Amino acid sequence: MKKPPGEEPKDALTVTPPQKWAAGVPAVRHALEYSLEQTSPGRVGETLLTMNQVDGIDCPGCAWADPAPGKRHRNEYCENGAKHITDEATGRRITADFFRTHPVSELGRRSDMWLNQQGRLTEPMVKRPGSDTYEPISWHDALGLLAEELTALDSPDEAVFYTSGRASNEAAFLYQLFARAFGTNNLPDCSNLCHESSGFALHETLGTGKGTVSLDDLHHTDLIFLVGQNPGSNHPRMLSALEEAKHNGARIIAVNPLPETGLRRFKNPQKARGVVGPGTQIADRFLHIRLGGDMALFQGLNRLLLEAEDARPGQVLDHDFIRTHTTGFDEFAAHVRAVDWQDVAAATGLTREEIEQVRDEVLRSRRVIVCWAMGITQHKHAVPTIREFVNFLMLRGNLGRAGTGACPVRGHSNVQGDRTVGIWEQMPDSFLDALQREFGFDPPRAHGLDSVDSIRAMREGRIKVFLGLAGNFVRAAPDSAVTEDALRRCRLTAQISTKLNRSHTVCGDTALILPTLGRTERDVQADGEQFVTVENSMSEVHTSRGRLRPASPLLLSEVAILCRLARRTLGDRVDVPWERFEADYGTIRDRISRIVPGLHDYNRRVVRPGGIQLPNPVNEGVFHTATGTALFTRNTGEAPGVPAGHLLLQTLRSHDQWNTVPYSTDDRYRGIHGSRRVVLVNPGDLAELGLTEGQWVDLVGVWTDDTERRAEGFKVVPYPSARGCAAAYYPETQVLVPLDSVAEFSNQPASKAVLVRLEPTTAFT
Ligand SMILES: Nc1nc2c(c(=O)[nH]1)N[C@H]1C(S)=C(S)[C@@H](COP(=O)(O)OP(=O)(O)OC[C@H]3O[C@@H](n4cnc5c(=O)[nH]c(N)nc54)[C@H](O)[C@@H]3O)O[C@H]1N2
Ligand SMILES: Nc1nc2c(c(=O)[nH]1)N[C@H]1C(S)=C(S)[C@@H](COP(=O)(O)OP(=O)(O)OC[C@H]3O[C@@H](n4cnc5c(=O)[nH]c(N)nc54)[C@H](O)[C@@H]3O)O[C@H]1N2
Ligand SMILES: [Mo]
């Protein structure tokens, strides 16, 4: 038998029962082990102790908010945050020699994990047309080459500028300024793949794309829904907030096809009871829902609430809120009253009694919060589902009051800030007008390409240059074969990166690696040491200051790279002081403060402990919608069907990875050790499909086109996932997600609902 493809070390799967509680002492031990493997004890201490402290480094992991300045722990980080930061602060280095001995074609056969493990990128590299090897190039020549390719385009719209949510506000602002001054709105970002559906639905119904909940709201509420989210692995510090909420009397309802460990019990390593005691039970109620069943669940719940109002008129709904702040109630109510219970049962896999019990919890709660993440946004009907959450919240006035609201839990540490400062292919005219006033050029008005449309355009040869600011576009995007082919059609692909990844191995005719400083590193420019600023999931903007010596003297900061590139490309075509911006990031923030509402007086306010809280109009009763009110909506859309012989597959994260970058082959909480090539299937489905535990299978995608999408060599693991619903890790399964399988309205890949067949493997013969 051949070894499974793309996996190092060799498959050595062991499966243990899923863990019953999250975090606790082992989490801290795992974090330190990983850290010490990567770098020295001194560097570990230096980074970890300033992490998420006032004037320290903002964790480059998730976007969860920090407690108020006086309430932070000495160690204000989680196991995974510690891993992310030491992954960047690693002592390992990639030099020009490395690329001499590893041609691009060979790197392309390595696993994502192996590529990341090689260490930090240290100098600019170029792969020339016809060559299979990266060779060193000076910064001057690298940026000159990129500028030349950009200026040679027939139209600025033949370039795309991708951003991943690690980029600071300063870098992101300059990036969009450069793209728009150059003449295009082609600014796809990771948000297109992440919370685009949330942004769309919230904008439409509430007039803002952001969540309305603060940490304080979460701490003091009566009922929290955790829908489509795995906080134990992906937002571990959220567990501390949930624990506090529980200690204050809140109840929690988790809705998930998987009984995730972090939803069960949390042992807080920062507290004595977490180290020695049984920890805190997180979810009081668990709804074992089918993939894509959430809209039906909330419609059923909304129907029950309307009927409760019929039974006790004036006592269930918040008529005052509905009258003063909303439109569309009657149409919505008529629609939801007609919801069919059989449809709800089929879509959710839940019984009516279970939903009635949830209704009773809701009726007992004066304050309710709904939290959600990728389990909601990455579905075909994501936008209507989130609109239904909004309907649900508004029925009882759970919006704009303390302890209530909508909480899309963001992924990347600054994904929200990047949007605030202009990374979006469809920024509103008010922003573009402000840009025009400030810098005197006329920004393009036509909407640009998002991530999925960028791939389509590349595939059709309409895009010639791809530039990535952070991230790993090739692995983050769906339909690997299609996306890789699309990228290879470009004349030039260039990546501003800290670590090696797959996107460096899928090259246009020419390819550039532009290595940059990470957040952990000291950033010294002409006017002295600089800091950057970022915005978390709760709209708090604060500083992040790195302390470590840069991984290489040849690294430039993202800001410096962008300023130099802009000067080389645009010359004096626009009146932007790029050199000043590079020397003193405060001058960038001055400009932002005049363009972005809420960031006025940016430099002075952001350095105060805790930073700036951006206002959320919803919490002031203001709705920037077409009607000036919040909207009730009527939502339709069938839950994804699962024909006999098939499974619906969700592609998700393990406990030990950061998005496209696996750190190990373990997923401790789910009891998976030694391999990521596993598919988790309900035991009942296994029996029905005639499959056995431990069997090797290929996952074969089923879509409306005739393209075969096959992910080879996965081991079957029986797992308590909802019936008909399987799970496997992203990005290994990226090859299965069809480019055209997207959420309606938001154009976000539906990577949590991929129809597959499981076939005996062809990989090892
Ligand atoms: N350690 C770590 N932290 C991270 C990341 C990471 O990779 N590693 N990534 C960051 C980023 S960018 C993001 S966006 C977030 C992602 O955070 P999550 O959204 O928690 O990430 P996923 O692993 O995609 O998990 C999706 C969860 O939704 C559930 N789910 C899937 N489909 C459905 C459904 O139809 N209905 C319901 N109710 N549940 C469903 C899955 O079972 C799973 O528990 O995490 C951020 N934090
Ligand atoms: N099938 C499937 N696909 C998905 C998802 C899914 O659940 N399933 N999730 C989607 C989601 S939610 C997201 S957010 C995207 C993630 O998509 P991306 O944000 O594009 O991917 P990451 O894996 O976070 O990018 C990691 C790379 O970023 C670079 N990097 C790290 N830090 C820095 C820095 O400070 N500066 C610079 N310049 N570079 C840096 C490193 O080179 C590293 O290799 O993937 C999406 N794709
Ligand atoms: Mo994300």
Contacts of 73 (CB under 8 A, 6+ apart): 270
Q: Tell me which residue has tokens 């309430």.
A: 71
Please tell me if the CB atom of residue 226 comes closer than 6 angstroms to any atom of ligand 1. Answer: no
| 46 CA distance to ligand 2 middle (Å) | 25
Say if residues 368 and 223 touch (Cβ distance below 8 Å): yes
695 and 754 share a domain?
yes
| Closest of 213, 168, 266, 215 to residue 69, by C-alpha | 215
Task: Count other C-beta atoms under 10 Å from residue 100's C-beta.
Answer: 12
235 and 166 share a domain?
no
718 alpha-carbon distance from chain centroid: 28
pLDDT surpassing 70 at residue 517:
yes
- Per cent of the chain over pLDDT 70 is 94
Distance between CA atoms of residues 757 and 700, nearest Å: 5
Take residue 103 and report the two structure tokens written for it.
């041609």
Q: Say what the pLDDT of residue 25 is.
A: 57
Please tell me if the CB atom of residue 84 comes closer than 6 angstroms to any atom of ligand 2. Answer: no
Last residue of a domain, one of 612, 628, 663: 612
Please report which confidence band the pLDDT of residue 45 belongs to, taking 50, 70 and 90 as the band edges: low
Q: Nearest bound ligand to CA 164?
A: 2
Over its C-alpha atoms, the chain yields an Rg (Å, rounded) of: 25
Last residue of a domain, one of 612, 633, 657: 612
Q: Say what the pLDDT of residue 80 is.
A: 82
Please tell me if the CB atom of residue 233 comes closer than 6 angstroms to any atom of ligand 1. Answer: yes
pLDDT surpassing 50 at residue 4:
no
Say if residues 78 and 23 touch (Cβ distance below 8 Å): yes
Domain count within the chain: 3
Contacts of 408 (CB under 8 A, 6+ apart): 195, 198, 202, 210, 211, 371, 372, 373, 377, 386, 537
Please tell me if the CB atom of residue 752 comes closer than 6 angstroms to any atom of ligand 1. Answer: yes
Please report which confidence band the pLDDT of residue 467 belongs to, taking 50, 70 and 90 as the band edges: very high
CATH number of the domain bearing residue 754: 2.40.40.20
276 and 330 share a domain?
yes
286 and 231 share a domain?
yes
* Polymer length in residues for the chain: 765
pLDDT surpassing 90 at residue 765:
no
| Residue bearing the bigger pLDDT, 70 or 649 | 649
Residue of the CA atom closest to atom 46 of ligand 2: 476
Say if residues 376 and 607 touch (Cβ distance below 8 Å): no
238 and 186 share a domain?
no
Residue of the CA atom closest to atom 22 of ligand 1: 652
358 and 432 share a domain?
no
Query: Parallel, antiparallel, or unpaired: how do β-strands 754-760 and 696-701 relate?
Result: antiparallel
Task: Count other C-beta atoms under 10 Å from residue 198's C-beta.
Answer: 28
For residue 640, being part of any structural domain is answered with no
552 and 575 share a domain?
yes
Please tell me if the CB atom of residue 661 comes closer than 6 angstroms to any atom of ligand 2. Answer: yes
pLDDT in tens, 485-497: 999 999 999 999 9
Residue of the CA atom closest to atom 3 of ligand 1: 234
563 and 700 share a domain?
no
238 and 135 share a domain?
no
Take residue 621 and report the two structure tokens written for it.
């009763």
272, exposed or middle or buried, with CB in 10 Å at 0-12, 13-18, 19+? Answer: exposed
State which residues form the domain around 562.
93-194+414-612
Say if residues 493 and 177 touch (Cβ distance below 8 Å): no
pLDDT surpassing 50 at residue 3:
no
Q: What is the mean pLDDT of residues 167-173?
A: 98
pLDDT in tens, 50-78: 666 777 788 888 888 888 887 777 666 67
Say if residues 710 and 699 touch (Cβ distance below 8 Å): yes
| Mean pLDDT score of the chain | 93
Please report which confidence band the pLDDT of residue 272 belongs to, taking 50, 70 and 90 as the band edges: low
Take residue 487 and report the two structure tokens written for it.
């990228």
139 and 212 share a domain?
no
Distance between CA atoms of residues 294 and 227, nearest Å: 8
**What phi and psi, each to the nearest 5 degrees, are found at residue 583?**
-75, -35
| Atom number, ligand 2, closest to the C-alpha of residue 658 | 23
Please tell me if the CB atom of residue 504 comes closer than 6 angstroms to any atom of ligand 2. Answer: no
551 alpha-carbon distance from chain centroid: 26
Please tell me if the CB atom of residue 411 comes closer than 6 angstroms to any atom of ligand 2. Answer: yes
Q: What is the mean pLDDT of residues 260-264?
A: 88
Please report which confidence band the pLDDT of residue 26 belongs to, taking 50, 70 and 90 as the band edges: low
| Closest of 307, 308, 306, 256 to residue 285, by C-alpha | 256
pLDDT in tens, 552-562: 999 999 999 99
Please tell me if the CB atom of residue 190 comes closer than 6 angstroms to any atom of ligand 2. Answer: yes
Residues facing 513 on adjacent strands: 125, 495
Q: Nearest bound ligand to CA 653?
A: 1
Distance between CA atoms of residues 764 and 750, nearest Å: 30
Distance between CA atoms of residues 241 and 76, nearest Å: 13
336 and 389 share a domain?
yes
For residue 283, being part of any structural domain is answered with yes
